[in-house]
Amino acid sequence: MTPTTSHIALVTGASRGIGKATARLLAEHGWDIAVNYARDGAAADLVVADVQRLGQRALAVQADVADEAAVLAMFDAVEEKLGPINALVNNAGIVDLKARLEEMSAARIRRMFEVNVLGTMLCAREAVKRMSTQHGGTGGVIVNLSSVAATLGAPGMYVDYAASKGAIDSFTVGLARELASEGVRVNAVRPGIIDTEIHAASGDAMRAFASSSLIPLQRPGTPLEVAQAIAWLISDEAAYVTGAVLDVSGGR
């Protein structure tokens, strides 16, 4: 698996979980990495150190992806210090405490969509401005992080999160077709229950393992297993793949 042209990938939400695993795996395959984080700079610095130990350049860059000004500043900083990116992994996302719809505040729902949908779209927009041949770029790849919750709906847990990920699926297909003639491929990965820290944010830190009986493969996935799918979609081995949503869910 070899990177194309500029060898620079921006991974949002890369200080932990799937983002961290993706940053490390892409570095193993020769990519320089921009490690985006929202709050935990110390964790992001550890990922940067891992990438550098693998012989690649790395940069930690703070930005709340729901903040347009922060996104613009992030892309400018990455371009100035590493160079123009040709791969974007839209991994940053949030979940909230388990709840029914009637228990959810407008503020919770708004924040869910601001981070998970608006954030993904803003980062993709800035990547397109730099990658698309229509804008003088040399092409590139965007991988969005969806969730099997988009197809299952997450009833009684977080239908707001599921709805936000359904939006990611639609956005992925539409943007892929919009950019197909401009050298930019756009795909999504739809993880199932993965053993990451995100479950603690929903109030059930052990959910990944407690839910094993719901998964045909009878176990949660690992961040690395999702990262491997992302890395393949970014690689030239997936050169004829665009507008795809790839389930990494253990059959769920």
DSSP class of residue 101 equals G
Sheet holding 87-90, edge to edge: 58-62, 32-37, 8-11, 87-90, 140-145, 184-191, 245-248
Helical segments of the chain, H only: 17-28, 41-53, 68-81, 106-113, 119-131, 149-152, 159-179, 198-201, 207-210, 223-234
Residue 39 CA to residue 22 CA, distance in Å, equals 19
Retrieve residue 12's tokens.
């949002």
Inter-residue contact 187 to 143 (CB < 8 Å): yes
- For 61, the 3-state DSSP assignment is strand
Catalytic residue, from 37, 158, 161, 240: name it.
Answer: 161
**Catalytic site residue 240?**
no
CB atoms within 10 A of CB 203: 13
- For residues 100 and 87, the answer to whether their CB atoms sit within 8 Å is no
| Contact partners, residue 241, CB within 8 Å, separation at least 6 | 185, 187, 233
Active site residues: 161
